[in-house]
Amino acid sequence: MTAKKRQETKTSLSSVIKRSFGALSVLLIFVLTACSSQNRATTPKEVRDLAGSPQAEEARKKTEKRLRSIVDAYDKKTPLTLALVTLEDVCSGGTAKQLFFPNGDDQYKVRCSLRLTAYYGAHPHHIGDVLDAIFTAGDHSATNGSPGETIPFNHDFYRKRLVGYYQGHGPNPSGPNATEPSQILSSSQSLSWDAIREAQRRLVQEPNPCLKADPPTIRCLREPAHRAVADVRKQHGMVFKLELPVTDYFEVSKKGEVSIG
């Protein structure tokens, strides 16, 4: 082999070694980065410690109290009778750094959320009067400047016609061929009820079974514990269901920043 050939071979081998070393360096940096506190998944112990912290507990109590005040407002200010409440309280840990298809779950150490749903009893022959009273309470809430915190449904054009329909004074507000209306929505609440005026009845369903309790990371309550929606319907004649959206009340970012809802 000539000196020139040997030099070319040496240069080529050196180039391969450099590229390999460079790739290994990048891989090592990636592994070290993935293991850093801001890029790894939160451990179960960390989730429990954060979910049980004084800050989390205070935020949990404050949020639950606010949501329950909304549930109680329907019981106190309308003809509806509160009969069953379900609560799901879950704290979950953040994932490891997501390089592909990120959804944001890698940005926090822990996130805690509450979901509250309430079931009320009502008389099936007085649906129009019940809805009218709910919208009147909503009118008062709007006048007081806090519709989102209590009852957000007022007497708008559609709801006036809805009351008239159920009181027997007017047509179906959704149209002559539409099914019986059984739900009203706002950005903060959903209120639905048994549709029982037509032959094909559409009833409020039973709540999902409770998650296995594991406080402080998982709480699941049904109050009263063994009451079913069917029991409420049997006692009162029909059921109304109030759904409040999932509320994030406590979050700690991977950078240690705390957000309280």
pTM of the entire predicted model? 0.84
Q: Measured over all CA atoms, what is the biggest interatomic distance in the chain, rounded to whole angstroms?
A: 106
- Mean pLDDT for each 10-residue chunk of the chain (261 residues)? 53 50 42 58 96 98 97 97 98 90 89 98 97 96 69 96 96 94 96 92 95 95 96 98 97 96 85
Q: What is the pLDDT of residue 119?
A: 98
Q: Tell me whether residue 193 is exposed, middle or buried, using C-beta atoms within 10 angstroms of its C-beta: 0 to 12, 13 to 18, 19 or more.
A: buried
Residue 29's pLDDT is what?
40
